[in-house]
Amino acid sequence: MKHISDKNHTINKRLHKLYGPEMAPRAVDSIIDLIFKYKSRIQSKAYQLTEKDVILITYGDQVNKDYEPSLQTLKGFMDKHLKGVVNSVHILPFYPYSSDDGFSVVNYSAVDPKMGSWREIEQISGEYRLMVDGVINHISQFSDWFKAFLEGDPYFQDFFTEVDPSVDLSKVVRPRALPLLSEFVDSKGESRHVWTTFSKDQVDLNYKSHRVLRNVLDALFYYVEKGATLIRLDAIAFIWKEIGTECVHLEQTHELIQLMREVLHEVAPEVIIITETNVPHHENVSYFGSGDDEAQMVYNFALPPLLVHSVLNSNTETLTKWAKTLTLPSDKVCFFNFTASHDGIGLRPVKGVLTDEEVQYIGDTVKEHGGLVSYKTDADGSKSPYELNCSYIDALTHPSEADEIRYKRMLLAQATVLAMPGVPGVYFHSLVGSRNYHDGVKHSGVNRTINREKYNIDWLEKELEAEGKLPKRILETYKKIITIRINEAAFNPFGKFEFLDLGTALFVVDQHSVNGDDRVLAIHNFSNQEVTCVLPEKIQFPLKNILELDASEETIYESPSIKLAPYQMLWLKGNIK
């Protein structure tokens, strides 16, 4: 008889809690079989997050070249521009899909042939730490699983959630202004009303079926076998449904994530779970669990809109006040910090942090900058803004503003993220200063396309070689800041940190290493004016600015009164007590 480790007999307990005494034994047997299947195929490797970890966020077909798999082209770009600077890559869903730029997966175990094959994925994971998406809340209506459901295959009849449309579902939290139930016609010509949280093409899976759990875990193990060491659980907050509740953040959802982590760690304890929960901040951080049983990393979703708010207002009071509330349940977890991603700039995470008027101001300003605003349906039937759709550089600056302002504001925001406690994520479009892609929105009809343009690699390389052009300047400076960061132990994601309130225009992060021997005081001026910063008396001098981006910048500071030019950043290192 096969046995799992004594340490993880909690797997058995969790399965009984989720499935009850009748179904749990079958679930236990199938998952133990799965564990032993992959134990013979996966060689576990030690992996600990450090200051060296920086994650590029990109589509698998972000850059393209004729007659070459786009994943190969992507690796070529990374090897040329990012080798030794960025050590990890989050390749957004590279599986065959039917919509949403990959987030409606047709086949979990295949690579979209337009991008390449598992061979290209393994070549990337052989040289970069690989983060993949577990798009496991839902699956495409064109998947074999859903087709089998509609065809009446008994094995798949409980894979999806059918609900009588007359049932009251008004309590369910809605992330989109779309119907919660979608109507499908099965092979007998009968209507089936199925739960679809995000769109008709994204049919929610039913985790009340242990067979769904087993098949999804099989897919996640397969990604680990192909080299993934980080797994992003997409839209995970909505994964368990209980009619009569909000169907978000349910107790079973947390239980399920904890179970998935324990099952994966039976084979590969180095795997890091990252939860994607674009919700109010206090709800988001609940996915850390106790600090050693759930997600090891949580997206810091409030940070992107707060940085936009701070730049647009030349004021960091709210940002600093919010940052001072950041706490972690243990020294085994950390935040995943970013400014931009394939999605828009979420507004739900700053509910209760920014006022409705402040959110409205950001939305109006982003529209003036050429961006868009997306809305969701609230419980009372009204609609409210949930996301800004705009390239990050355009969110920060008006099209009429000079490139120099654009450059300074963009790098200020990116440097702030790199100085934050945790692991930084760098979206491809932020790396090269991409602008709003309006033609893409016209073509797709989807607001998020505005920040998802794909590039011909030859055209992009010419842009990056053009002296004085914004893409080249941003990429070169961005890489320089990252290089400084990854060589400072003070930026270890598990070190101690503090946020200092030294002025309404300044954002100040005091970071130090795990052993306390290394320390950096990162000061960022969010104003378009010169600002004087007076450092606390406890700080000893001299201090050296390790963030030397301009030859004219002063490098050694001997007194507590320091002047910062508009949008200047200083990372000071010295005998800081």
Q: Which residues are catalytic?
A: 234
Tabulate helix, strand, coil % of the chain (nearest 5): 35, 20, 40
For residue 468, the 8-state DSSP code is T
Pairing of strands 506-512, 88-91: unpaired
The CA distance from 211 to 277, in Å, is 25
For residue 440, which phi and psi values (nearest 5 degrees)?
Answer: -65, -40
The CA distance from 447 to 345, in Å, is 12
Contact 457, 72 (CB under 8 A): no
Contacts of 42 (CB under 8 A, 6+ apart): 221, 224, 225, 267, 268
The CA distance from 214 to 34, in Å, is 8
Token pair in block for residue 92: 């957004």
Token pair in block for residue 214: 């087993």
Contact 522, 571 (CB under 8 A): yes
Largest CA distance in the chain: 81
Name beta bridge partners: 524.
507, 569
The CA distance from 82 to 29, in Å, is 45
Contacts 24+ apart (CB under 8 A), 284-291: 284/349, 286/249, 286/254, 287/236, 287/237, 287/254, 287/257, 288/328, 288/329, 288/330, 288/333, 289/254, 289/257, 289/258, 289/329, 290/329, 290/330, 291/328, 291/329, 291/330, 291/332, 291/333
Contact 227, 121 (CB under 8 A): yes
The CA distance from 431 to 26, in Å, is 48
Residue 247's nearest CA partner among 201, 211, 207 is: 207
